[in-house]
Structure 1
């Protein structure tokens, strides 16, 4: 079975950010699937060229534990301006051209919507090769943009995105969604929900079995916090991540409880503003840490006491949510304090932590956990059990494989050669100048 995945922002081990498709693909490879991920070589999380530093190389192939990545060199950008649009268009054009030139034929193409053009490329190539197409709608565009207040529902761009969304819905054999109630959203668009496959984010539980050494700077941070209740946030620092309430809680606790200390790991467009706000308000109980590679996240969480998440009060969340960081926290047996206005969240149903509605309640909950360390262990254990049962990548991959086998029986697949699994340290590399 030969599968191509088009995800502009996919990353491999050693990068910063979510590794959804690598984690899924690695499990598929174990079952003799051949998986190729087409991604940009420019890191969106780190805002730098990561995979093709050579000036004269336009694209290259690398293999990580049997998963093949085709890295495509795209223009750099720093903000959400015209340069980022140029980056998207460059990926779109180049990935389509490279897909057309490949010698092997795919049996299945998955186009993922981090921006809709990557999914559109997947759809067009599936037509060319007359193979099965799955549309993965990770964000409900354009509804997410509307509900987060970024654009008006009457904006012409919204009309265009809606048309593209419906086009992808109609042409997909399956619509993969990450939110548990997103089938209702699809139904509202007049699409048969029999196409919908709920495949949320997950966690690689094996990564959370060992505490390894971190960088010298991070080791110093954790050494300085011995005896504190370490409250950690990992992930993007953007408007959608709604991190001001976390700083509000830190401000409330600054003079009330010296046992609680916040560690904020990651980067994003709001990072510098948040750092400056903490400096102006003299929030000495919060430490900002640069983005780290995905492999360091388990150790950071294993050395923490509580994971914190803050969500906007936005209409889009009525369809559910699937946050990588939430499953990472649970995999590390880390209790979660979740600030949101939603009912029946996984935190409540699993008993994996505490849901709060205001920064004041967040501060009070953290004070409670600082006093009741046994509650930390109990909540953390429930979170671990929840993620083992519902969000382990092994189980999610099996769910995907069951559907693929229904749609593409083995007798109908191409004879593309399945490459042997290789270690990251001994990865294959091909470089191309096109």
Structure 2
């Protein structure tokens, strides 16, 4: 992409950054860009996040629109433009319409702000949002950063959701390459994804690795009082060794491996109990499987607000991170729940055939790469018998996440890329 002469942020007190993320929020889940933006705003940046106000997790509208289709709010110095989009209940046509209405209203709405951005970050929560970011950057002659959250369409292929010969795969591949070539920077969340992008013929100097992270102050602030139903549950399960999973219940999350391990430990160690918190397309089937197989050492609980997770994790002994055995994970992983576990001083057990993970680097847990159920059961029995050793693992996990995954550190990676691009975003530069 050719240099944009209108990007004169070096002569400005505060450069403008627009972030397009359909699912961004100021609290709860999907706070990645809000957390980055707070760090930038605290250093004098003018940051606007454009997001849909329709909540994907709850399938509910979270704003009230009296006139028009957009609302503007400010949270901790970050401006949010909320867009009203088509409501949906499942992954059908109405969800596609939700994506399209977001994309159209984001493009039209940002044009009407009367502002001229210096940087636009288009996040691939779905391809249309990133494409709109690219088109707006061309319109304003500013820098475009393409953030590829998942490696579309490769993730869809490797998880078995679509065939490689599907016409949608061809279209997504062309769009991915277009965004790569037209981006000034490509942000990836997975460390080894640098190799994936480079394999598409892209200059590796354009690629920036910014994994997920955690707002440690917010996490620690919410580590206190338990929700009432969980306070009762933990009293009822006093003396149990609790292995917890918090997150989506989908095919990629491989929770059947956890239930398989539960069958083994039910016979070998009745002290171990599995707590699965969340929702998703597999939740009903997993609940029925638990009932049918009499897995009394498994509890499936509904999702809770993100703010309640730290208090719950304070009461458990180990964090579980099961993933489907799929080639997509060779590019690395960066799930938010991992950093929630680590910040809570929990040793983590990862089920995934991946190399050089944060768990291995930190010494904050173990990685199981094959025969997931048998080895998971064995490790849990081992952990339950060695509380001092697992406590040391949990402390190592906490120290690692403080040093490598706090947002004040990760935001500096973005700043370094910006400075290399020749546009100063900090005051006084």
CA contact (8 A) 1:12 1:19 kept: yes
CA contact (8 A) 1:132 1:173 kept: yes
Work out whether 1:68 is the aligned partner of 2:79.
yes
CA distance in structure 2 between the partners assigned to 1:143 and 1:301 by the alignment: 33
Measured after TM superposition, the shift of residue 378 of structure 1 is 0.7
CA distance in structure 2 between the partners assigned to 1:364 and 1:44 by the alignment: 37
Work out whether 1:154 is the aligned partner of 2:155.
no
Taking structure 1 as the reference length, what is the TM-score of the superposition? 0.90
Structure 1 equivalent of residue 184 of structure 2: 173
Of 90, 101, 106, which aligns to 1:90?
101
Measured after TM superposition, the shift of residue 57 of structure 1 is 5.4
Structure 1 equivalent of residue 278 of structure 2: 266
Structure 2 equivalent of residue 43 of structure 1: 55
Deviation larger for 373-382 or 74-83 = 74-83
Of 79, 84, 88, which aligns to 2:90?
79
Taking structure 2 as the reference length, what is the TM-score of the superposition? 0.91
CA distance in structure 2 between the partners assigned to 1:278 and 1:47 by the alignment: 26
The higher-RCO structure (CA 8 Å, 6+ apart) is 1
Structure 2 equivalent of residue 182 of structure 1: 193
Structure 2 gap ranges (5+): 1-14
CA contact (8 A) 1:330 1:387 kept: yes
Measured after TM superposition, the shift of residue 411 of structure 1 is 8.8
Structure 2 equivalent of residue 239 of structure 1: 251
Of 402, 407, 410, which aligns to 1:393?
407
| Post-superposition CA distance 1:327-370 (Å, at most 9, x none) | 11111111011112233332223211122232111111111111
CA distance in structure 2 between the partners assigned to 1:388 and 1:245 by the alignment: 30
Say if 1:318 and 1:376 are closer, same or farther in 2 by CA, change over 3 A. same
Structure 2 equivalent of residue 255 of structure 1: 267
Structure 1 gap ranges (5+): 414-434
Deviation larger for 87-96 or 256-265 = 256-265
Measured after TM superposition, the shift of residue 256 of structure 1 is 2.7
Structure 2 equivalent of residue 29 of structure 1: 41
Work out whether 1:380 is the aligned partner of 2:391.
no
CA distance in structure 1 between the partners assigned to 2:355 and 2:180 by the alignment: 29
Work out whether 1:331 is the aligned partner of 2:343.
yes
Work out whether 1:108 is the aligned partner of 2:125.
no
Measured after TM superposition, the shift of residue 66 of structure 1 is 1.4
Deviation larger for 138-147 or 383-392 = 383-392
SS at match of 2:309: helix
Structure 2 equivalent of residue 416 of structure 1: none
Deviation larger for 74-83 or 114-123 = 74-83
Work out whether 1:128 is the aligned partner of 2:139.
yes
RMSD of the alignment, in Å? Answer: 1.8
CA distance in structure 1 between the partners assigned to 2:210 and 2:173 by the alignment: 22
Structure 2 equivalent of residue 58 of structure 1: 69
